[in-house]
Amino acid sequence: MKKIILAAAFAAMISGTAFADTYSITVTNNLAEELLAPIVVTSTSNDGFIFNGSYVTPAAEEQILTGDPAKVVASIGADMVAVGHGLDGPPSVLLKPGASITFEFETDATSLRILAMVAPTMFPDNYVSNVVDIHATTETIVKLHRFDIGYDEGTKTNTRVSNDAATVVIIRK
């Protein structure tokens, strides 16, 4: 009887284990004139590494102001993040208007955070982001919203300034 109970407990434990899926992520820049910097994708469970109340963390601030995702990736963990690089603009990692990039991400997450800097050619402290629910779907399409972090204004508060800055298509493979 003890073996049956242990076997049942083990089976229940295994059935609750999440398995990672691989996703193809395509991001298209819908902005008229501005480029997007490297695109970071991670589970929304890592939002604490990106947001701090109504502002962003120092690591996310660096990505939004400089386009360098290294600190965000390091704080979350490289195995928990995918970074998509465009091929445009100096230093050949930006995504020009109308262009698309596709990259893959393996995760057991049910919802993803997508984040990218808007290159500071017109505004110094803007980014695009949204949450994508990938639970129980094979294909998801979502628009990224544009935000201003208020760094140059001194408010240090996230404010949505527009919708439809980029389109993201996520396909479970």
User: Residue 129: which CATH number?
Assistant: 2.60.40.2130
Range of the domain at 121: 18-172
111-148 tens-digit pLDDT? 999 999 999 999 999 999 999 999 989 999 999 999 99
Q: Is residue 5 part of a domain?
A: no
Q: What is the pLDDT of residue 136?
A: 86
Average pLDDT over residues 144-166: 97
What whole-number distance in Å separates Cα of residue 144 and Cα of residue 127?
9
pTM score, whole prediction = 0.88
Other C-beta atoms closer than 10 Å to the C-beta of 111 total 13
Q: Is residue 37 part of a domain?
A: yes
What whole-number distance in Å separates Cα of residue 61 and Cα of residue 52?
11
Average pLDDT over residues 75-92: 94
Average pLDDT over residues 34-44: 97
At 128, give phi and psi (nearest 5°): -115, 145
Q: Is residue 144 part of a domain?
A: yes
Spatial CA neighbour of 67 closest among 32, 95, 44, 30: 95
Q: Is residue 95 part of a domain?
A: yes
CB-based contact 36:118 (threshold 8 Å): yes
Number of domains in the chain: 1
- Average pLDDT over the chain reads 92
